[in-house]
Amino acid sequence: MTAPNDIWLIAPTDLTLRLDEIHVWRIDLDQPEVQLQNLATTLSSEEMARAQRFYFQEHRQRFIAGRGILRTILGRYLGIQPRQVQFNYQQRGKPVLADTFADSGLAFNLSHSQGLGLCAVNCTREIGVDLEYIRPMSDLEALAKRFFLPREYEMLRSLSANQQQEAFFRYWTCKEAYLKATGDGLSQLEQIEVSLTPTEPAKLQILEDWSLFELVPANNYVAAVAVENFGWNLKCWQY
C-alpha cells in the first residue's frame, strides 16, 4: 500500500495564496467536544439544520467539524471571521463562495471520507478534490466495468487483489476530482480517461489544459486534486 505523503506542514500565521499556488488542507473531522461547540457557533442556521438531520451522532459531529473548519480556513484567506463566510450552491449542490466575495477570486473544494477531510484552495481557477478511504469492495470489478473505460478496466484486472483495491480508488478519486472541478456529475465518470499504474502517477488523458495531483494523506487513504492549467506550486497544510 502506498505510504502517506510526508508533506503536511503547519500553515504560517501570515498565510498568503499566490496566483501560481494550490493549497490543500488536511482536516481531522473527529474533534474534541469543546472544539465542536466552538465550531458550531460559526455555522449558519441552515448548516445547523443540516447537521441535525444526520441520524448518527458521529456523522453529525463530523459535518459540524468539516463545515466549521472550512469556514475557519476560508476566513483566513478572506480576512474575516468564520461566521461571516457566506456560500452559494451550484446546481449539483457544490458550495462556492457567495457573490459578495467574487473579487477575491478564491475557489475551493471540499472532500471527506471517514474521519478525514481535505480542502483544496486556489485563486481564479476551477479546482476539485476527492478523498477516499481504501476499503474492501465485493463488487469492485462490476463497478469498474460500469464506470471505467475499457483500457482502465483491463489494467485493473491485470493486478493482484491488493493492488486492485488501491488502483480502483486512485482511478475514482482522479475522475471525481476533475468532475467536481467542472461541476459535472458522476454520470460522466466513464468519459474521463485516466492513465496510471501501481508505480506511476496518474494522468488525465486528452485533457491537455488540466493538472492532476495525487496525494496520500494518511494510511489507507488516497486523494486527487484537479485544477485548470499547468505550472502549479502545491502546498499542503495540516489544520
Q: What is the mean pLDDT of residues 147-166?
A: 92
- Comparing 156-160, 192-196, 214-218, the range with the smallest average pLDDT is 192-196
Confidence of residue 136 (pLDDT cuts 50, 70, 90): confident
Q: Indicate the pTM of the whole model.
A: 0.93
Q: What is the pLDDT of residue 187?
A: 61
Instruction: Give residue-wise pLDDT tens across range 91-129.
Output: 777 889 999 999 999 999 999 999 999 999 999 898 999
Comparing CA positions, the residue from 119, 104, 128, 11 lying closest to residue 69 is 119
Q: How confident is the model at residue 186 (pLDDT cuts 50, 70, 90)?
A: low
Average pLDDT of the chain to the nearest whole number: 91
Q: Which three cell numbers stand for residue 198?
A: 501501481
CA nearest to 24, candidates 119, 122, 130, 123: 119
How much is the pLDDT for 6?
Answer: 81
Question: Is pLDDT of 1 > 60?
Answer: no
Q: Quickly name the fold that domain 130-233 has.
A: Ribosomal Protein L22; Chain A (3.90.470)
pLDDT confidence of residue 234:
96
pLDDT over 70, % of the chain:
95
155 pLDDT exceeds 70?
Answer: yes
Closest by CA position to 123, among listed 226, 19, 213, 225: 19
Cell of 170: 486512485
128-155 mean pLDDT = 92
Same topology, domains 8-125 and 130-233? Answer is yes
How large is the average pLDDT for residues 201-215? Answer: 86
Give burial (CB, 10 Å; 0-12/13-18/19+) of 50: middle
* Contact (CB, 8 A) for 73 and 119: yes
CATH topology of domain 8-125: Ribosomal Protein L22; Chain A (3.90.470)
Domain boundaries defined on the chain? 8-125, 130-233
Residue 173: enclosing H or E segment and its boundaries?
Answer: helix 161-182
Quote the pLDDT of residue 25: 98
Helices (H), 22-91: 33-40, 45-52, 57-78
Asked if pLDDT for residue 84 goes beyond 90, the answer is yes
Q: What is the pLDDT of residue 94?
A: 81
